[in-house]
Amino acid sequence: MALAASALLAWLPAERCFAQTATFDVPPECGDELAFRSELVRLTGNDAARARPSRLRITHEAERGTYRLTLDVGGRTRELEHADCRVLLRSAAVIAAASLKAEAVPAPAAVSTPVTPRAAAAPAPATAPLERDATQRAEHGTRDREWRGNVAAGVGLAAGVVPDVTAAFEVRGEVLGELAGASLGVRYFPTRSAAVEGRRADVWGVGLRGAAVVRPVPALNLSLGLDADRLSGRGSGVTKPERDSAWTLAPSAELAIIPIRNRHLSLEVAAEGRLALVRPVFVVTGFQDLYRVPSWGMVLVLRGAWHFP
């Protein structure tokens, strides 16, 4: 019974605090009102009712890939922006608590000593450093978790790998921090044919791409990598059709635009250019070359990604 009574007493301030809150508008992925109430009670105890915000709103800035917090508390409006909206919700609770503590800071005692005009200049508001430090502390708890992984699947078109233009299918894994990361992908290029005077080579490929990734802005990824593709071919229209395989190596650069993104899902439109340094040739002995990998190639991919944790 004593434990139940204690829990009830701890709950009541949070209920009173939010019974008078005008607005609590937060996307589901950021957290809920119950989590915010609990955090505010933890920070302020029975003073949670005094620290209540009159408005707490978090909106998703889709074009920038960030979230914006608008908070009315202590007669002032604060606005913050961050890529992780869970950080913003924790920051809102810490700022509300800091505003309450700022109200408790006693005014400086009056002194009879004359002051010069320079000394009489008003100091910066007490809440500003408290607010800044509080937000930094709230963000510090997630800095070690800034690195996130994602897995993606994509489909597109490729030229300069197998003969002609072919489809390209991709599965990719990626680890990204706030500004940079790395990726590793597997690709499949279906069969295309090259024919000369009735003789034909059917060529398909499977490849790997490893790359270093840079994120200058949330909606844009740049990567530099190396493509290693194993091309396999089968001749037809010859006396003894044979199969053969060879590797091609090509440094590559990719630009990926991310028009849609939230906490766990994103859509990417990517364009890659590649320069083949190793260019295998498929030939018919005693006849001529049927297909040689071009020096330049490109891959266009539309991919969807799932982000974790």
CATH number at residue 165: 2.40.160.20
Who's near 109: CB < 8 A, 6+ residues apart? none
C-alpha distance from residue 153 to each of 171, 270, 271, 297, 302 (Å): 5, 12, 15, 21, 9
- Per-residue pLDDT at 141: 47
Residue 132 confidence (pLDDT): 55
Same domain? For 127 and 40 the reply is yes
User: What is the count of structural domains for the chain?
Assistant: 2
Residue 107: its H or E element: none
Residue 236 DSSP code: E
Residues 93 and 188 in one domain: no
Clarify whether residues 38 and 158 are in a common domain.
no
pLDDT in tens, the chain (309 residues): 444 444 444 444 444 444 445 688 998 888 888 888 888 888 888 777 888 888 899 998 877 788 899 989 878 888 988 888 888 888 988 998 888 776 655 545 544 445 445 544 444 444 445 555 555 555 554 444 478 999 999 999 999 999 999 999 999 999 998 899 999 999 999 999 998 888 888 999 999 999 999 999 989 999 999 999 999 998 877 666 678 899 999 999 999 999 998 889 999 999 999 999 999 998 877 677 889 999 999 999 999 999 998
**Exposure on the CB side of residue 157, measured as CA atoms within 13 A:** 3
Domain, as residue range, for 219? 148-308
Whether the CB-CB separation of 14 and 41 falls below 8 Å is answered with: yes
Give me the amino acid identity at 238.
V
Instruction: Please tell me whether residues 163 and 37 are part of one structural domain.
Output: no
Does 268 share its domain with 135? no
The verdict on 46 and 99 lying in the same domain is: yes
pLDDT at 106: 56
pLDDT of residue 52: 82
Give the residue among 255, 180, 271, 215 at the shortest CA–CA distance from 65.
215
Q: Are residues 234 and 205 in the same domain?
A: yes
- Indicate if 133 and 175 belong to the same structural domain: no
Q: Check if the beta carbon of residue 215 is closer than 8 Å to that of residue 179.
A: yes
Domain shared by 40 and 138, yes or no: yes
- Return the axis-axis angle of helices 85-103 and 33-44, rounded to nearest 10°: 30
